[in-house]
């Protein structure tokens, strides 16, 4: 009999407990947070305060030993977030100014254009470019093979100068007359 009473009391407590839990579940309160905005920031690299730049170095009648430049490109970040690093890369294609009995290749022409100034944010980058074609000077062909990635980036409030100057080698012969290249300098700002 004692067992039956204990069992009944236990069952009664379970029923009361379940009813209490069900009662608590009936009360709820909900609030909403509206107009939350999640917008990605952006990087907007500008050259001379524009999207893109053309003809920083322009010389159609280069003479041996004659310098071109220095020319400055002002780099800025018009975006909403800071850029951590800047990558600089070079490429070129043949762009002859006229006909010549000896048609030099783009690589041969690039090897004869010495880079005399190359700097970013006041620091020379020439020491970071190896003389890959072993002609004892840094030239445009060397630039195209150089790894100039990882330069200091740009915050949204600063500008940095990129400066370049070149010179057609003075020891060049008539075979290079009317030959030329178009050089592309690419800047990539990274988060």
Report residues of the chain scoring pLDDT below 70: 1-25, 54-55
Laid out side by side, the sheet with 85-94 consists of 148-152, 85-94, 181-190
What pLDDT shows up at residue 85?
A: 97
Structural domain spans, the chain: 45-190
Q: Could you say which of 2.30.29, 3.90.930, 2.60.40, 2.40.50 is the CATH number of the domain covering 45-190? A: 2.60.40
- 110-166 pLDDT per residue, tens: 999 999 999 999 999 999 999 999 999 999 999 999 999 999 999 999 999 999 999
Establish how many alpha carbons lie within 13 A of residue 77's alpha carbon, considering only the half-sphere containing its beta carbon.
23
């Amino acid at each position: 009999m004692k067992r039956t009473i204990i069992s009944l009391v236990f069952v009664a407590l379970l029923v009361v407990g379940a009813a209490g839990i069900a009662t608590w579940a009936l009360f709820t309160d909900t609030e909403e947070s509206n107009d939350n905005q999640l917008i990605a920031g952006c990087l907007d690299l500008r050259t001379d305060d524009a999207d893109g730049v053309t003809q920083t170095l322009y010389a159609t009648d280069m003479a041996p030993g004659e310098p071109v430049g220095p020319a400055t490109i002002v780099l800025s970040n018009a975006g909403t977030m800071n850029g951590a690093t800047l990558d600089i890369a070079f490429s070129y294609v043949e762009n002859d100014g006229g006909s010549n009995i000896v048609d030099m290749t783009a690589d041969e022409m690039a090897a004869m254009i010495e880079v005399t100034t190359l700097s970013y944010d006041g620091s020379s980058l020439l020491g970071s470019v190896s003389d890959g074609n072993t002609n004892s000077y840094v030239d445009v062909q060397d630039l195209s093979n150089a790894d100039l990635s990882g330069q200091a980036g740009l915050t949204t409030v600063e500008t940095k100068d990129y400066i370049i100057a070149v010179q057609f080698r003075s020891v060049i012969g008539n075979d290079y007359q009317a030959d030329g290249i178009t050089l592309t300098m690419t800047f990539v700002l990274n988060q």
